[in-house]
Amino acid sequence: MFFTIISYAQEYPLYYNGDVPNGSYYKDTNNEYDKYLGLWKGSWNGKTIYIELKKVKHYYDGINPYYMDKIFGERKIIAADGNVETDRISNFDFQSPEIRGMGIPTGVNGVNYPSLMFYPKNMCNMFARLVVTNITQTQMTLHLVGMMGHQKANCIHDAYIQQHGEYPINFPKDIVLTKQ
């Protein structure tokens, strides 16, 4: 005699606010994330940026482990001369992507907007919010909002920060992206 036991995690909507058993799955049941997914392209200061966003079933371990649909993203930046300055899309990192979301809504000019968290590599543990102030089927507007976090000691960018008052981040402050 052969028995097969299949166990499925109980599913709950993304923003369910009640007690759930360990191993539960907060799922994007209403496909709220779908409008953000895909490859996006924009230009600033002669550079071209590509941002690829994917929906991922992410596991959170700890005292009450659970799964949750998240948006993960990576970027590729090409200089005006065609040189690739950054390419994290070709080797998309599902363990520690630079872009994660959707984050806590962020206020801009008195209005709350959805946001993605941006954890650029080699920025001394600092991060920023990418606030989505407009999204349609073909365009998305992003605003980079402040570097935050606890900067690690002896940051490789200390001299630049002291001279310019900001981090040398290779990302536009404001950009309109077009879905590819």
pLDDT in tens, the chain (180 residues): 566 555 566 999 988 888 899 999 999 999 999 999 999 999 999 999 999 999 999 999 989 999 999 999 999 999 999 999 999 999 999 999 999 987 667 777 777 888 999 998 877 777 888 999 889 999 999 998 876 655 666 776 677 667 776 666 778 999 999 999
Q: Per the domain annotation, does 38 fall within a domain?
A: yes
- Report pLDDT for 9: 67
Both structure tokens of 21: 């058993």
The separation between the first and the last C-alpha atoms of the chain, rounded to the nearest angstrom, is 53
- Residue 139 pLDDT: 97
Closest residue by Cα to residue 179 from 30, 23, 91, 50: 50
**Number of domains within the chain:** 1
Q: Is residue 14 part of a domain?
A: no
Backbone angles phi, psi at 161, to 5 degrees: -60, -45
Q: Which structural domain range is residue 140 located in?
A: 22-179
170 lies in a domain?
A: yes
Q: Does some domain include residue 155?
A: yes
**Maximum C-alpha span of the chain:** 74
What is the SS3 assignment for 50?
Answer: strand
pLDDT of residue 57: 95
Q: Residue 138's pLDDT is what? A: 96
